[in-house]
Amino acid sequence: MPDILVAGGGPTGLLTAYELERAGLDVLVLERDARPTAQSKALAVQPRSVEVLADRGLLEAIEPYAEARVPAGHFSGVPIDYTDLPTRFPYQLGIEQAHIAAAIEARLRTPVLRGAAVTAVSQDGEGVTVTAGGRDHRAGWLVAADGGHSTVRTLLGAAFPGTSARVSLVVADLRLAGEPAGLADEWQLPSSTSGFLLPLSGGRHRVIIFGEEQQRLGRDAPVTAGELQRGLTAAHGPGIEVGEVLWASRFGDAARQLQRYRHGRVLFAGDAAHVHLPVGGQGLNLGLQDAVNLGWKLAAQVRGHAPSGLLDSYHDERHPIAARVLLSTRAQAVLGVPDPDASAVREIVTGLLAVPEARHAVALELSGIGITYPEVSGRAVDVPAALDGRAVLIGAPAPEGWTDRVEVRDGGDPRLVRPDGYVAWAGGPGLETALHRWFGPPSLNGHKAVA
Distance (Å, whole) CA 118 – CA 30: 8
What is the model's pLDDT at position 91? 96
Sequential DSSP letters for 416-428: EE-TTSBEEE-SS
CB 94 within 8 A of CB 70: yes
Query: β-strand 415-417 against 423-425: which pairing, if any?
Result: antiparallel
From the CA atom positions of the chain, what is the Rg in Å? 23
Cβ neighbour number for residue 451 with a 10 Å cutoff:
14
The domains found in the chain, sorted by start residue, are 4-70+90-162+256-337 (3.50.50.60), 168-252 (3.30.70.2450), 373-451 (3.40.30.120)
User: pLDDT averaged over consecutive 10-residue blocks of the chain (451 residues)?
Assistant: 96 98 97 86 92 95 92 91 96 93 96 97 97 97 97 97 91 90 70 76 88 86 94 88 93 94 98 91 92 98 94 98 95 84 92 96 96 93 90 92 91 92 94 94 56 33
Among 30, 26, 1, smallest CA distance to 13 is for 30
Distance (Å, whole) CA 426 – CA 413: 8
What is the model's pLDDT at position 393? 96
What is the model's pLDDT at position 48? 96
Could you tell me the pTM of the whole model? 0.94
Distance (Å, whole) CA 80 – CA 345: 18
Distance (Å, whole) CA 180 – CA 178: 7
What is the model's pLDDT at position 446? 42
Distance (Å, whole) CA 437 – CA 41: 38
- At residue 362, the 3 state secondary structure works out as helix
* Residues 6+ positions from 230 with CB-CB distance below 8 Å: 211, 213
- At residue 47, the 3 state secondary structure works out as helix
What is the model's pLDDT at position 451? 33
Helices and strands: H and E segment counts in the chain? 12, 25
